């Protein structure tokens, strides 16, 4: 039969064996986790390099497009200034004489209208005298 000390040693060795098995299982799982993490990081690195290259090419194309848009915008601004200048010149060339013609025609209508009125008044006065 076992003495108390032997029984305590047996229980302690079983507990230590269980703890050792638990630690071994935990280490095996941790090793698998680290292996999977390493594999995932490697795949990520392999996939990231082409993505970054594609991204750089896209940024370069966008930069080229923005350069063209900037050039088009500058041309439109220049054209807009030219149209504004032509409009101002046309307005000054047409509006001045047009206003003068309108003023002249208004004055002529007033004068002719007054002449008709004066002629009508003179005709009535002549009839009254006779």
Mean pLDDT of 16-42: 96
Assess if residue 75 is contained within a domain. Answer: yes
**Could you tell me if residue 30 is inside a domain?**
yes
Tokens 């206003």 found at: 99
Could you tell me the residue range of the domain that residue 8 belongs to? 1-96
pLDDT at 35 over 80: yes
Prediction pTM value: 0.42
The reply to whether 103 falls in a domain is no
Give domain status of residue 18, yes or no.
yes
Q: Report yes or no: 1 and 10 within 8 Å, Cβ to Cβ.
A: no
Residue 34 within a domain: yes
Residue 47 in domain: yes
Give the phi and the psi of residue 73 in degrees, each rounded to 5.
-65, -40
pLDDT in tens, 40-97: 999 999 889 889 999 999 999 999 999 999 999 999 989 999 888 888 888 877 777 7
- When divided into structural domains, the chain yields a total of 1
Query: Is 13 among the domain residues?
Result: yes
């Amino acid at each position: 039969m076992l003495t108390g000390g032997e029984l305590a040693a047996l229980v302690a060795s079983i507990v230590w064996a269980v703890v050792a098995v638990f630690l071994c299982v935990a280490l095996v799982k941790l090793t698998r986790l680290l292996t999977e993490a390493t594999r995932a990081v490697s795949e990520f690195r392999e996939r990231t390099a082409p993505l970054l290259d594609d991204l750089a090419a896209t940024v370069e194309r966008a930069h080229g497009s923005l350069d063209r848009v900037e050039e088009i915008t500058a041309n439109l601004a220049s054209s807009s200034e030219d149209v504004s200048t032509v409009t101002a010149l046309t307005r000054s060339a047409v509006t001045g004489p047009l206003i003068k013609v309108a003023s002249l025609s208004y004055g002529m209508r007033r004068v002719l209208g007054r002449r008709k009125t004066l002629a009508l008044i003179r005709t009535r006065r002549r009839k009254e005298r006779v």
